[in-house]
């Protein structure tokens, strides 16, 4: 487990505690990332996947729309008393699936 994974797990542990309410901070930040594509998130993802090979590039407009809709659905589901998003984030951070890195690259594909 690398240092970036530990930091991300710490942040989402905090989100899990804060998330016991009507607002999911993880989903809100995720929707911001998909909409605004800040450079810091791409840097975190590159560090998180530092020992992984880069996937093929995919169509970014469709990927951004699908990612935003997925996060919006998670945001609605997270209104329930049990936060779902941090649990999913823990699994992604620990296992670092290649499909998630493809989603990130797809979201940032056409960014100047």
Share above pLDDT 70 across residues of the chain, in percent, rounded to a whole number: 87
pTM higher than 0.85 = no
Residues 19-45, mean pLDDT to the nearest whole number: 87
- The region that residue 96 occupies, defined by phi over 0 for left and psi between -120 and 50 for alpha, beta otherwise, is left
Which residue did the predictor score with more confidence, 60 or 27?
Answer: 27
Predicted confidence band of residue 79 (pLDDT cuts 50, 70, 90): confident
Instruction: Tell me how far CA of residue 47 lies from CA of 54, 74, 82, 90, 111, in angstroms.
Output: 12, 25, 30, 16, 19
- Report the chain's mean pLDDT, rounded to a whole number: 83
Q: How confident is the model at residue 62 (pLDDT cuts 50, 70, 90)?
A: confident
Is the Cβ–Cβ distance between 107 and 36 less than 8 Å?
Answer: no
Cα 16 from Cα 112, distance rounded (Å): 33
Q: Using one digit for the tens of pLDDT, what is the confidence trace for 42-58?
A: 999 988 888 765 555 55
Ranked by mean pLDDT, the top range of 2-11, 61-70, 78-87 is: 2-11
């Amino acid at each position: 487990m690398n240092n970036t994974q530990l930091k991300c797990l710490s942040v989402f542990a905090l989100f899990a505690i804060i998330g016991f309410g009507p607002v999911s901070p993880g989903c809100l930040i995720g929707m911001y990332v998909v909409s605004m594509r800040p450079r810091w998130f791409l840097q975190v993802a590159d560090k998180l996947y530092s020992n992984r090979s880069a996937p093929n590039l995919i169509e970014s407009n469709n990927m951004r729309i699908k990612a935003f809709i997925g996060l919006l659905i998670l945001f609605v589901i997270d209104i329930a008393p049990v936060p779902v998003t941090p649990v999913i984030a823990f699994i992604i951070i620990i296992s670092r699936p290649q499909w998630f890195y493809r989603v990130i690259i797809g979201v940032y594909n056409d960014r100047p």
